[in-house]
A and B are shown apart, each in its own frame.
Chain A
Amino acid sequence: MGSTVFKGGIHPDYHKELTATMAVTAMKAPEKVVIPLQQHIGAPCEPLESIEVGTEVKIGQKIAQSSGFVSAPIHASVSGKITAIGPYNHPLGRPVEAITIESDGEEKWDDSIKPAGNPDNLTAEKIREIVREAGIVGLGGATFPAHVKLSPPPEKKIDIVVINGAECEPYLTADHRVMLENPEEIVFGLKMMIKALGAEKGVIGVEDNKPDALKVLEQEVAGEDNITVASLHTKYPQGAEKMLIQVTTGRIVPAGGLPLDVGVVNHNVGTAVAITNAVREGKPLVERVLTVTGSGINRPQNLMVRVGTLVSDVLEHCGGLKEETVKLIIGGPMMGLAQPSPDIPVIKGTSGILALTGEDVYLAESSPCIRCAKCVDHCPVQLLPTSIALASEHEMFKKAEKLHAMDCFECGCCAFVCPSKIPLVQWIRIAKAEIAKANKK
């Protein structure tokens, strides 16, 4: 196990030294939070009936939910008064319905927050329910509701739970810090998942550029007979679901398939901690660890931030942006989303806030493809990015589909290595959107 290396991938400059050694500090609850009703993949939430402008809420109080199964409820992250319900800027681009709460500064937790009892006595069903009620989603950035992954269809037997501690995105160190500071919670969360799924074992995969985290976790699992820690080769995108599962279990997730097709469920380390907090203390997901970093940040650091805190407030807490900043990104530099303005809230899936100055952003124009095949050789999914992009450019979307455009998970390796600086991912995204549209009809 853990001996294989996935094909393709790249070795970008990591820049993790900016924040890797900085312990997580909690940012003071802001005066105002804006909590979007869509923070996960799946059906958006609706405000509860009791929730309207003027309603007083406490921390952890559920304020919105959806009847859909693939969804995660949303909780107040400060105590105070709801001052607005309506569309607000969202990291995904389009404004989304959001609930604005003005803090009363009292930091009162809701009475409903209490432990569910001795964790050893919890049934699988109960664990799933706790996870669901806590509104936990994939904290690595995918934001898929965690309880859904813990509820596979009965015909899919899950035997391995893989915990993702790879953190392969450059700059980000939030998971790294969580591994160093909360190893016990990670392992406990993993055990809860194993129990919920009836799985046999767990593996925690960590890239070998974080030897300290590997050591801490190995000590933590020393007494466990069904949990191991896998040291992974440092290569982007090592933390991508399919690559991670390949190197930790030797199993290949089929194209278009899911990890559960090969008996695996995977979760991020942060998600494991969130599950632990929910099981032990009844705490819903109202805050998360993120990395604020990059050449444009005055005081880079790892922060515990309430969900709904405005990015502008976080930046201010970190000393503001440098004058030369040209790009503001939510997430990492490889897959994160560039933002026109910091007037957006931190959501459950926000793993980092990255500000880059001119020298770190490649701004040159693209030139024609020289067919060097570097994009082909570095694509971890073995696609032909140049051919898909060309097909997309010529609006030959059928051809793009035949070239497996839909298997692209937008890791960005192709565009990273391209000497002609062609925005390959952008072209492929266009093709994917068109193919999806055509297939819906």
Chain B
Amino acid sequence: MDKKMIVSSSPHVRSIESVQSVMTDVLIALFPVALMAVLLFGYQALITMVISVVTAMLVEALWLRKKDIFNDGSAAVTGLLFAMVLPPSPPWWLVVVGAAASIIIGKQVFGGIGYNIFNPALVGRAIVLVSWGGYLAGNVWSPPQPFAFGADVSAVTGATALAGQGEALSYSLTQLFIGTVPGCLGETSALALLVGGAWLYYKGHIDWRIPLGYLGTVFVMGVIFGGGFYDNHLMTGLFHVLAGGVMLGALFMATDMVTTPVTPVGRLIFGIGCGLITMLIRIWGALPEGVTYAILLMNAVTPIIDNFTVPKQFGGVKKNA
């Protein structure tokens, strides 16, 4: 009984959740998306994902000089997310360079997990987009060979739905929902993304504000400004939600914990901001898609958003930031 007891601050019990368990949950949430990618685009999608994840984990382990390459799991998440925003079968070196850039430039130069300002996977994508944009341009993306695992997808090319209004009309909303359209590896299947997003919501890792703020804004802007080229204006709004990277962005990129606001109101503003910028680029910009830049731009203003949206405390009257 004379043994010294540990004296530390309350609370003395903690939840069993850890950074590693959270990251593992994100990986689980990405599983349906990855599975759908392989079903739609074949084995090359799998190879792309594996190269990306392994590169990201190795680069981080080397940088941190840690032996445990899974570590907290965040590098694996970044690697997988980076693969999700690549075409199904890009050159292997592009995957390696991009995944390494995601980890080093997107995360470690800022001081590692928790300190990065921008979404690492999107930083990686922006870098390869600027440097080797030709490989990512919409008109060389392979149309999927649904459920033909062995098909060589790079042999055939097709335009993504967002590459042009004409192309857009050649895909039905159902196709866009299931994902049997050309596009990035992880972005085409709204269905798989929703399943993954639902898991994250169930586990309490994302709340509704960012995804709904984002998707809602895209929908409303699509209805009002989309031009009604689908059956009607509402359908056009839905098209904008389902086509391109919005669904992936809203559920997995804009919900990245580190790079988005912590305040509830801030999260809503963040989601709406992402939606607005995405649609500005899509409708009036020079690029067909704007998800990457929209989220990166909103990442940049996240500290400001947090500063101006300090919630009113329980029983609080005055609002000061």
**Chain A interface residues toward B at CB < 8 A:** 7, 10, 12-13, 170, 242, 252-257, 312, 315, 320-321, 325-329, 333-342, 354, 356, 360-364, 367-374, 376-377, 380-384, 386-387, 402-404, 407, 410, 412, 415-421, 423, 425-426, 429
Contacts and interface: CB of A to CB of B under 8 A. Distances in A.
A209 B195 CA distance: 34
Given A342-B1, A381-B313, A337 B10 contact: yes
Nearest to B318: A255
Given A362-B14, A421-B14, 19 more contacts: A256-B315, A325-B5, A333-B12, A333-B13, A334-B10, A334-B13, A338-B6, A367-B113, A367-B114, A369-B114, A370-B22, A373-B207, A373-B257, A374-B204, A376-B311, A380-B314, A387-B310, A416-B11, A425-B9
Contacts of B263: 373, 376, 384
Given A254-B315, A338-B8, A341-B5, A416 B13 contact: yes
Contacts of A329: 12
The 5 closest A-B pairs by CB, nearest first: A412-B11, A368-B114, A426-B9, A362-B14, A373-B262
Given A371-B258, A381-B313, A382-B311, A417 B15 contact: yes
B5 A339 contact: yes
A329 B267 CA distance: 38
Contacts of A13: 13
A256 B314 CA distance: 10
Given A338-B6, A340-B7, A415 B14 contact: yes
A425 B14 CA distance: 12
B170 interface: no
Contact of A334 (B11, B258, B312): B11
Contacts of A369: 114
B317 interface: yes
Nearest to A356: B12
Contact of B19 (A335, A367, A373): A367
A417 B13 CA distance: 10
Contacts of A334: 10-13
B65 interface: no
Given A255-B317, A370-B114, A415 B11 contact: yes
B233 to A, nearest CB: 35
Nearest to A93: B7
A13 B312 CA distance: 30
Contacts of A242: 314-315
**Chain B binding surface SS class:** loop
A340 B114 CA distance: 34
B240 to A, nearest CB: 28
Interface string B52-64: 0000000000000
Nearest to A339: B5
A407 B13 contact: no
Among B11, B15, B204, find the residue whose CB has the most chain A CB atoms closer than 10 A: B11
A372 B257 contact: yes
B307 to A, nearest CB: 9
Contacts of B7: 338-340
A372 B112 contact: no
Among B5, B13, B263, B321, find the residue whose CB has the most chain A CB atoms closer than 10 A: B13
Interface string B13-29: 11101110110000000
9 contacts: A170-B13, A256-B315, A342-B1, A361-B12, A370-B113, A381-B313, A404-B313, A416-B14, A420-B19
Given A255-B313, A340-B7, A321 B1 contact: yes
Contacts of A407: 313-316
Nearest to A372: B257
A333 B15 CA distance: 12
B44 interface: no
A334 B277 CA distance: 44
Contacts of A380: 314
B246 to A, nearest CB: 22
Among B10, B260, B313, B317, find the residue whose CB has the most chain A CB atoms closer than 10 A: B10
Given A367-B72, A370-B113, A335 B10 contact: yes
A339 B1 CA distance: 13
A419 B262 contact: no
Interface string B237-280: 00000000000000000000111111110010000000000000
Contacts of A415: 9-11, 14
Nearest to B7: A338
Contacts of B6: 326-327, 338, 361, 363
B4 interface: yes
Contact of B18 (A354, A381, A421): A421
A384 B13 contact: no
A373 B260 CA distance: 9
B10 A386 contact: no
A335 B11 contact: yes
B175 to A, nearest CB: 35
B18 A419 contact: yes
Contacts of B207: 373, 377
Given A13-B13, A327-B12, A402-B320, A387 B1 contact: no
Contacts of A360: 13
Interface string B101-112: 000000000001
Given A373-B262, A377-B207, A384-B262, A12 B5 contact: no
A96 B232 CA distance: 78
A341 B7 CA distance: 9
Contacts of B229: none
B314 A376 contact: no
A398 to B, nearest CB: 12
B315 A403 contact: no
A252 B17 contact: no
A254 B2 CA distance: 46
Given A252-B314, A338-B6, A362 B258 contact: no
A334 B12 CA distance: 6
Contacts of B21: 419
A372 B14 contact: no
Nearest to A421: B14
B67 to A, nearest CB: 17
A356 B5 CA distance: 10
A253 B11 CA distance: 24
